[in-house]
Amino acid sequence: MNRSAIFIVISFVVYLLAQVMLFRQLVLFNTAFCFLYVAFVLMLPIETNNLALMLIAFVLGFLVDVFYDSLGLHAMSLVLIAYLRNYWLVTITPQGGYDAGEGPTLAANGLQWFLVYTLPLLFIHHFVLFFTEAGGFRVFWFTMSKVMSSLLFTLFVVLFLQYFSFDRRR
Amino acid sequence: MQRLLNFLYEYRAFFTFLLLEFLSAWMLVLNNDFQSTAYFNTANGLTANIIGFSQKASAYFSLGDVNTELSRENAQLKTALELQRQQSRNPFTSQDTVIRYEFTSAKVINSSVAQFKNFITINRGIDAGIEPGMAAISTFGAVGKVKAVSEHFAVLISILNIDEQVSSVLKRTGSIGTVQWDGTDPRTVNLLYIPRHVVPQAGDTVATSGYNAVFPDGVLIGIVKDVKLREEAPFYDIKVELAQDFTRLSYLKIVKSRLKQELDSLEVVTKGKEP
């Protein structure tokens, strides 16, 4: 096992524990959730294999589900994101390609690219998650407000962490 | 055959994706109406301990609320006790009434109100005689019913769960309806299926009907807040303000119905004889 693999395993545990112990209890105005664990899948190295990505996502989603008493819900949304992630990364490759050995981070590719990368994927994740949980579109606008406020909250925390690690690296 | 394998290999990512999504959807459906000794939820020992650990930190900040709640409960219990003492002096009260319900007190170690399907985890399980299907009530009103139990913990379906329906009665008129949450405001639920000829008013009491033997009859659910009747709708749209504030749930009681089995089997026998 090389260093980066160990780092990935550790950050898996950290993301999971942060999600179930801290962010699970942190719901703002009864509508804004922070699903930080999605960022773990988004931040895995660019060259990660699609299959491995989906399997990791499934396990992570499943474990989150156990704590939310919502078996299958987070796993389903996260596997979808893991499936879409690599296709989306190819689509938005910057000019000159990605730097070898760099993750899809803000530090490596800049804020604009990072927003283009994370916003749509986070939106799809939250959209699928909340509308599946609501069991359809009966309370559409309320559910939509949950999607949007959670998107803002999650994005805020993700960006905060990106800048935090950005400073440390320099 | 070779070409089929090639095809499968070519699109292996897509097929893995379908397989995993199918697996998740299957769990999702199974989880919706599943009552059992389940492992993959917050009743699981490890999960409950991790949750309990983080709960301890946040519980510290809500100590004040819990105190107020408990002293209110204390006051109510004293009133009930006094009432009972007065009744027992009454010579006309029968002494040989069957004790229909037993109560087990439990502490809430995890609860949520912001999801569409909210669950509550408590620190009592099989070892305290708790079984799936039992009702959970607090001093102020109905809370939910037991969904899954493990050795030391249990998960309850909260009334604030869009899948949960409680048979209930409008006390003043005696009409039977169903209480169900719409997933939006954690302070109010909807009372469904109250027909047009009834005249409900704001301020009416809504309690459990006791029709399905899960809840005892007459457990308070809430107070009618808002009554609307759309044109040509067969039923009223009634908003009920919950008696129990679910954001401050700390202790509750699990109701064990001693006659549930008898009632259920009697109903099964009766239904079986219908032509």
The torsion defined by the Cα of B264, B266, B269 and B273, in degrees rounded to 10, comes to -120
B143 and B57 share a domain?
yes
Residue B100 in domain: yes
User: What digits encode the pLDDT tens for the residues B93-119?
Assistant: 555 555 677 788 888 888 888 888 899
A65 CB neighbours in chain B (<8 A) are: 27, 40
Of B42, B58, B184, the CB nearest to A139: B184
B140 and B172 share a domain?
no
Q: Which residues contact B70 (CB under 8 A, 6 or more apart)?
A: B250, B251
**Token couple for B265:** 């089997």
The CATH number that applies at residue B225 is: 2.40.10.350
| Angle made by CA atoms B51, B35, B134, in degrees to the nearest 5 | 85
What phi, psi does A40 have (nearest 5°)?
-60, -45
Question: Along chain A (170 residues), what's the average pLDDT of each consecutive run of 10 residues?
Answer: 79 89 84 91 86 91 88 90 90 79 78 89 93 86 91 92 65
> Is B208 in contact with B215 (CB distance < 8 Å)?
yes
> Is A62 in contact with A102 (CB distance < 8 Å)?
no
Of A69, A72, A79, the CB nearest to B119: A69
B206 and B229 share a domain?
yes
B254 and B121 share a domain?
yes
B152 and B174 share a domain?
no
Q: Range of B241's domain?
A: 165-245
B254 and B151 share a domain?
yes
Residue B275 in domain: no
Compute CA distances A9 → A6, A35, A68, B37, whole Å: 5, 19, 22, 31
Amino acid at B98: V
B115 and B205 share a domain?
no
> Is B205 in contact with B223 (CB distance < 8 Å)?
yes
Residue with tokens 């004889």: B273
B123 and B218 share a domain?
no
Residue B11 in domain: no
Residue B263 in domain: no
Question: Which of helix, strand or coil describes residue A33?
Answer: coil
Average pLDDT over every residue of B2-15 = 83
Looking at the complex, report in whole angstroms how far the Cα of residue A137 sits from the nearest Cα belonging to chain B: 12
Per-residue pLDDT band for B77 (boundaries 50, 70, 90) equals: confident
Q: ipTM of this predicted complex?
A: 0.82
Inter-chain contact A58–B23, Cβ cutoff 8 Å?
Answer: yes
B83 and B212 share a domain?
no
Inter-chain contact B184–A142, Cβ cutoff 8 Å?
Answer: yes
Please determine, looking at this structure, whether the domain spanning A3-169 carries the CATH number 1.10.1760. yes
Residue B19 in domain: no
Residue B274 has pLDDT above 60, yes or no: no
Residue B122 in domain: yes
Of B66, B53, B43, B54, the closest CA to residue B247 belongs to B66
Of B24, B26, B30, the CB nearest to A79: B24
Number of domains in chain B: 2
Q: Which residues contact B95 (CB under 8 A, 6 or more apart)?
A: none
- What is the reported pLDDT for B94? 54
Average pLDDT over chain B reads: 81
Radius of gyration of chain A (CA): 16
Beta bridge partners of B241: B188, B223
Looking at the complex, report in whole angstroms how far the Cα of residue B39 sits from the nearest Cα belonging to chain A: 9
The CATH number that applies at residue B114 is: 2.40.10.340
More confident call, A38 vs B36: A38
User: What digits encode the pLDDT tens for the residues B132-187?
Assistant: 888 888 888 889 989 888 888 888 999 998 888 888 888 888 888 899 998 888 88
How many cross-chain Cβ pairs, A to B, lie less than 8 Å apart? 107
- What is the reported pLDDT for A169? 47
A71 CB neighbours in chain B (<8 A) are: 27-28, 30-31, 40-41
Inter-chain contact B54–A25, Cβ cutoff 8 Å?
Answer: yes
Per-residue pLDDT band for B275 (boundaries 50, 70, 90) equals: low
B133 and B211 share a domain?
no
Instruction: Decide the pairing of beta strands B175-180 and B188-192.
Output: antiparallel
Of B14, B27, B115, the CB nearest to A71: B27
B116 and B232 share a domain?
no
Residue B229 has pLDDT above 80, yes or no: yes
B220 and B239 share a domain?
yes
- What is the reported pLDDT for B98? 58
More confident call, A4 vs B243: B243
